[in-house]
Amino acid sequence: GAGVSQSPSNKVTEKGKDVELRCDPISGHTALYWYRQRLGQGLEFLIYFQGNSAPDKSGLPSDRFSAERTGESVSTLTIQRTQQEDSAVYLCASSLGRGVPLHFGNGTRLTVT
């Protein structure tokens, strides 16, 4: 596609429910990143995929968070048993490879009530 696409754009869920967020990167981009941005804060790294290599999961805040990516296509970020502290905008970015410019999607705004 022309840009990074994320869905849904907004998600409201009840505490304790599971949610799944989707990211469709720019075609041909081998690298994919997930970041979290709490209200008024900077970007917090969550997870990085590069091609078929093992993902770098060092930023995932707890074992309730997981992400998958099949090859160089769509990625899903799953948050289990959501907590109010999970409320944030979840941003996905992709790039052609390592160390080259990132392109961000518009994010998914998650609200946990």
Partner 1 sequence: GIQVEQSPPDLILQEGANSTLRCNFSDSVNNLQWFHQNPWGQLINLFYIPSGTKQNGRLSATTVATERYSLLYISSSQTTDSGVYFCAVHTSGGSYIPTFGRGTSLIVHP
| Residue 21 engages partner 1 in binding (rule: CB under 8 A) | no
Least distance CB 42 / partner 1 (angstroms): 4
What x/- string results for residues 35 through 74 when contact with partner 1 is judged by CB under 8 A? Answer: x-----xxx-x--x-x-----x--x---------------
| Residue 109 engages partner 1 in binding (rule: CB under 8 A) | yes
User: Dihedral of the CA atoms 66, 69, 75, 77 (nearest 10)?
Assistant: 0
Q: Are 72 and 29 in contact (CB under 8 A)?
A: yes
Binding-site ranges for partner 1 (CB under 8 A): 31, 33, 35, 41-43, 45, 48, 50, 56, 59, 89, 91, 93, 98-104, 106-107, 109
